[in-house]
Structure 1
Amino acid sequence: MKISTSLAVLSVVAASSSAFGLNGGAKNLARTTTRAVGAFQKNPAMVQPVDIQGNRISSSVVLNDVSDAIAVRGGASSAAEPAKKAPLDLGLIAYFALWYLGNYYYNITNKLALNAAGGKVGFPMTLSSLQLGVGAIYGIFLWLAPDARTKPTITAKDLLKMIPVAFCFMGAHSASVFAMGMGAVSFAQIVKASEPAFSAVLSQFVYGKPISKAKWLCLPIVIGGVILASVKELDFAWSALIAACIANCFAAVKGNENKKLMETAGLKDRMGSVGNQFAITTVLAFLLSIPVVAIREGSRFGEFCEMAKTTPAIWKNLVASGLWFYGYNECATLTLKKTGAVTQSVANTAKRVIVIVGVALVLGESLDPIKMLGCSIGIGGVLLYSVIDSIVAKK
């Protein structure tokens, strides 16, 4: 029992380290096993095994028996009889857990940093830029650290092509932080759930990619739910509503631009991994955010530095939110890469519900029945929008 528990823990740790860009885990285990078997073949034991008649058993028989035993216990499988799939994918479970946990703690630490820095009259653009800076430093660290992550081999032309995606990524993140600073986190999340409506309009009329009629029919449900959830918030959260809508616009453009970018010949190979792609995007987004910070809050940057010196809650939650933001986004990418479209939709919907309810309880935000009804309708509409085409196709 202790051995089984230890193996399970090692599997989760290996998956977790992979999610945050670290190599190792299962590869090292396989390497060690291969080395051990090789050593056994070259240096047989001085005391050889014998059968019940006292005859010595050859090493090839022993090795076959060992191979069979490994196959039974979930190790290497023979060509004649493929190994059965494990009932649980511990790596995928770890990705889901880290994605949800990271998103949850990001929203909490982000809101705490915003409140400590002055709330509605504080420094949302400065905080969002520095969060990207924390992620950029972490991404660069993974390239420099030994055996952490292979460096990309992209060209200057690749970087230029990535600028539109990075700019939209920066815009979506900054507008989201601004929305959370102006109103409740739960309200900003509800409005951000309507992103498919913005994406549908852009895909149809700007990028020339038509959306099915079934998807169009789902959009009134999404928009209606957002309006209903906004009824109790409109007296103080107009700025949050507008900022969240701007974030949706940036996110929708980013999605379409990213699809175009990934069609560039050889770009995926030069990037090397999804983690490298996200790290490069984060670094570029941070650099692009600096001029925006200078224009909007540059004259008050000295005030922000003094406030951060006297209020540890600002820089502590700033660093924490930056790391959580980078980590959960990479875990989300790894999770969605291992699952199908329907699973992605359900996972995104479940994540948003958990964040809305959990953060509201922790931060003492309003959970008015009408607000929650609108939230349920809007997020349910998003889920339906995501899977409606597959449902219609089956019929």
Structure 2
Amino acid sequence: MSSTTAFTFSSTSSPFLKTRKTSFQNPNPNCYRFNPVRLSTTSKSLDLCLRSSPLCSSSSRWSSIPSLVTDREMKNDFKTKASSSDGGASADEVETEKAGALTKTLQLGAYFGLWYLFNIYFNIYNKQVLKVFPFPVTITTVQFAVGTVIVFFMWALNLHKKPQITTSQLVAILPLAMVHTLGNLFTNMSLGKVAVSFTHTIKAMEPFFSVLFSALFMGEMPSLLVVSSLLPIVGGVALASMTEASFNWAGFWAAMASNVTFQSRNVLSKKFMVKKDQSMDNINLFSIITIMSLFLLFPVAFFMEGVKVSPAYLQSAGLNVRDLGTKALLAGLCFHAYQQVSYMILQRVSPVTHSVGNCVKRVVVIVTSVLFFRTPVSPINSLGTGIALAGVFLYSRIKSLKPKPKAA
């Protein structure tokens, strides 16, 4: 005599679990009878008991009975399948990833804020020093010296891993250090001659020289959209120059020379590719360039301007040694800090995003310098500056639309 028993496994605690029914025929009437309702809370040990029971082992039909599982095990099985269908990421992992992405976004925003803040204070302190101490070569050398001290301090305390640099890498970095030195020197020469706002307005023409040098030395011909974005840049700078109250040719050409050297650095960084290892990141690359710039500029400053930073000379010139030294030190700290943070941002975002951020930074610096130094600005001058900066932003957006090369 045989009987058929239906075992129902159900879970009322989860709406996602469907009721599972398993029917089998009991081949042995002497086998234990089970209450189907109580089987919903039965553990796997019951299944093992059924399989090992001497009363039931005489029939092979028991081998086809599915394993009995508990409600909890069914839930775990469902979660496992759900996580595997979502690409192996559980809910906790998704939440962790979201929190990590938010942290990275906040960190990047803090870096941009520090970049702008350090740049603002550098321009303010630097301009105050250059007004009373018109020796831009010496000032630039002092700034590189402050940066060099910070670099060695950072490496000595293991705040950043010291790079393992080779002679071939130094040879490749040398041209970058040379144009980096000239770029910062010409910037300080311009800041000493004209208003901070006007220097940064002229430096808005960097995209023009970037396109020009890329076409001349790299063979990268610009598109029509890129060329059209350069027109408001050139026109805006020309309009601002014609109406600038502090205009003089020395300051104008110094700022233009700064554009040329800085964009030459970008082109050279493509032509003289530095073979990097894990320790040679953007921060260490900038640190090495800073040290090399100090050794390149120090003899030039000595022969061109002599020793002008001694207390005896400063007192004989009627300068407040303590006040001048404090502002020069702060300018040097901000000088190195804003450039290093710039490299840290460049390591996290694309060059186009960095370019857009640089455009916004220039606007912030111009506005704050006009307000701090109470620079007289005419409506036409403001219009020219605005047109130039709008052209820079347009250029950055057009560069972001450049199609990516298709993978082979």
Structure 2 partner of 1:374: 384
Query: Higher mean Cα deviation, 382-391 or 191-200?
Result: 382-391
Say whether 1:350 aligns with 2:327.
no
Say whether 1:311 aligns with 2:327.
no
Say whether 1:184 aligns with 2:184.
no
Say whether 1:207 aligns with 2:223.
no
Q: Which has the higher contact order (CA 8 A, sep 6+)?
A: 1
The number of residues matched between the two structures is: 312
Structure 2 partner of 1:297: 305
Which one of the candidate residues 169, 191, 213 is aligned to 1:158? Answer: 169
For residue 136 of structure 1, report the CA deviation from its aligned partner: 1.0
Structure 1 partner of 2:76: none
Pair member with larger Rg: 2
For residue 163 of structure 1, report the CA deviation from its aligned partner: 0.9
Structure 2 partner of 1:143: 155
State how 1:274-285 maps to structure 2 within 5 Å. 274-285=282-293
Across the aligned residues of Structure 1 and Structure 2, the Cα RMSD in angstroms comes to 2.6
Which one of the candidate residues 367, 374, 382 is aligned to 1:364? Answer: 374
State how 1:50-129 maps to structure 2 within 5 Å. 79-81=89-91, 82-84=93-95, 85-86=98-99, 87=102, 89-117=105-133, 122-129=134-141
- Name the SS for the 2:395 alignment partner: helix
Whole-angstrom CA distance in 2 between matches of 1:308 and 1:129: 22
Structure 1 partner of 2:296: 288
CA contact (8 A) 2:161 2:279 kept: no
Question: Which of the two has greater helix per residue?
Answer: 1
Q: Which runs of 4+ in 1 moved over 6 A?
A: none
Deviations 1:26-77 (A, max 9, x none): xxxxxxxxxxxxxxxxxxxxxxxxxxxxxxxxxxxxxxxxxxxxxxxxxxxx
For residue 161 of structure 1, report the CA deviation from its aligned partner: 1.5
Whole-angstrom CA distance in 2 between matches of 1:158 and 1:391: 34
Whole-angstrom CA distance in 1 between matches of 2:297 and 2:372: 30
Structure 1 partner of 2:276: 268
CA contact (8 A) 1:308 1:315 kept: no
What is the TM-score when the length of structure 1 is the normalising length? 0.73
For residue 304 of structure 1, report the CA deviation from its aligned partner: 5.1
Structure 1 partner of 2:340: 330
Partner letter of residue 113 of structure 2? A
Whole-angstrom CA distance in 2 between matches of 1:344 and 1:281: 20
Which one of the candidate residues 317, 326, 331 is aligned to 1:321? Answer: 331
Structure 1 partner of 2:183: 172
What is the TM-score when the length of structure 2 is the normalising length? 0.71
CA contact (8 A) 2:194 2:246 kept: no
CA contact (8 A) 1:116 1:313 kept: no
Whole-angstrom CA distance in 1 between matches of 2:396 and 2:168: 34
Whole-angstrom CA distance in 2 between matches of 1:178 and 1:346: 26
Unaligned runs of 5+ in 1: 1-77
- Name the SS for the 2:377 alignment partner: coil
Unaligned runs of 5+ in 2: 1-87
